[in-house]
Amino acid sequence: MTTYAIGDLQGCYDVLARLLEHIRFDPSRDHLWFCGDLVNRGGQSLETLKLVHSLRERSTVVLGNHDMSLLAIAHRSEADQHKVNPDLHRVLFAPERDELIGWLKHQKLLHVDPSLGFAMVHAGLSPKWTLKMAQARAAEVERILQGEQAGRYLKAMYGNQPGWSPKLGGTDRFRAIVNIFTRMRYCTPNGRIGFEEKGRPGTQQPGFYPWFSVPGHAPRELPIVCGHWSTLGLFMGLGVYAIDTGAIWGGTLTALELGPEPRVHAVPGRSGAGARVKD
C-alpha cells in the first residue's frame, strides 16, 4: 500500500484527475491524504467534493479555511446562500448537498499516524503545542462541528481575534483554534498570528516567523504535512513537508508519496491563472 498526501485542490477537479492518473492511484491498495481546501475558486468544487467523497474509504481529509467557510455558509439562510460565488453555489444547491456537507462536517482538523510516521494539518500549529496538545484542541472543534451547536459556532468563526490562550472559552476559543489550524503562516514566538503576512519567508515584518521555525517551539513527535501557503511553494525541511504548490494559480498540484524517503509527484495546475495568494 502506498499513501500519497495531496496539496490544496480548491475546486480543480480536472487537475486532481490528472494527478491520480499520473501516480497510477489504485483504490484497492493505495490511500490518499488531502491537506484541505478542497473547494472554491477552481470552478469545479462540486465535482471535486464528489470525487473525494467517493474515495472516502481510501482517503483522509483535514479541513482548510475554504472548507470551513463552506460549512459556515451552509448554515446560513437560503437567501444568503444564493449570494455566494457560482462555484460554491453549485455545491450548496446540488442534489447531493446534504450528503456532501454532512460528510465534510465529520472530517478532521489534524490527522496523526504514528505507524506511518507523519501528521497532517491544513495550515499550521501553535508554537507552544506538541502534537498531543494539538490533537486535543482539534478534537474540541471536531466535536462542535458534528454537534447541534455547529451553526452557532460557525456563525462566530470569522475574525482575527482573540489570539490563542488556554483560558479562552466558547466561540472565542473555537475561533482561535480554527485560525491556527486553517489560517496560520507566520506567527510570533508567543503564538500571535500574522494574518497579513502571506509572502515568502523574508518578506514578513520583524518579529514574525514561519510557524514551523519559530524559535523555541515545542518539540513535535512526527514530521508534518501541510498546505495553505502557495507562495512558499514546495518546502521540505525542519520537520515539515509543505505541498501547496499553487495549482489554482497556474502552479502545480503535488502528491507527496509518504515513506522513509518521501517522493514528490506533480502535474500542471489550472492554466490561465495568475500567481497570487489570498486566504
Dump pLDDT digits (tens) for 134-185: 999 999 999 999 999 999 999 999 999 999 999 999 999 999 999 999 999 9
**If you average pLDDT over every residue of the chain, what do you get?**
96
Q: Are 10 and 41 in contact (CB under 8 A)?
A: yes
- Determine the 3-state secondary structure of 189 from DSSP: coil
Task: Compute the average pLDDT of residues 244-254.
Answer: 97
CATH of 3-268, one of 1.50.10.20, 3.20.20.70, 3.60.21.10, 3.40.50.1970: 3.60.21.10
- For 224, list phi and psi in degrees, rounded to 5: -120, 130
Query: Can you give the pLDDT at residue 166?
Result: 96
Query: Can you give the pLDDT at residue 208?
Result: 98
Query: Can you give the pLDDT at residue 271?
Result: 81
Query: Can you give the pLDDT at residue 108?
Result: 98
Query: Can you give the pLDDT at residue 278?
Result: 54
User: Which of 249, 248, 241 is closest to 222 using CA atoms?
Assistant: 241
Dump pLDDT digits (tens) for 43-88: 999 999 999 999 999 999 999 999 999 999 999 999 999 999 999 9
- Say yes or no to pLDDT of 273 above 80: no
Kindly indicate the confidence band of residue 225, based on its pLDDT and cuts at 50, 70 and 90: very high
Kindly indicate the confidence band of residue 131, based on its pLDDT and cuts at 50, 70 and 90: very high
Distance, CA of 130 to CA of 11 (rounded, Å): 32
The alpha carbon dihedral of 237, 240, 241, 247 has a sign of: negative
User: Which of 264, 202, 277 is closest to 234 using CA atoms?
Assistant: 264
Q: Are 33 and 7 in contact (CB under 8 A)?
A: no
Q: Which helix (H) or strand (E) segment is 118 a member of?
A: strand 118-121
Q: Which helix (H) or strand (E) segment is 209 a member of?
A: strand 209-210
Task: Compute the average pLDDT of residues 234-260.
Answer: 97
Distance, CA of 19 to CA of 39 (rounded, Å): 17
For 83, the grid coordinates are: 449570494
Residue 135 vs residues 113, 126, 181: alpha-carbon distances, Å: 12, 12, 11
- Say yes or no to pLDDT of 17 above 60: yes
Q: What percent of the chain has pLDDT over 90?
A: 96
Distance, CA of 147 to CA of 162 (rounded, Å): 23
- Say yes or no to pLDDT of 275 above 50: no
- Residue 136 CB contacts under 8 Å (≥ 6 apart), including other chains: none
Distance, CA of 153 to CA of 243 (rounded, Å): 30
Q: How far apart are the first and last CA of the chain?
A: 34
Distance, CA of 49 to CA of 264 (rounded, Å): 24
Distance, CA of 182 to CA of 246 (rounded, Å): 16
Q: What percent of the chain has pLDDT over 70?
A: 97
- Say yes or no to pLDDT of 274 above 80: no
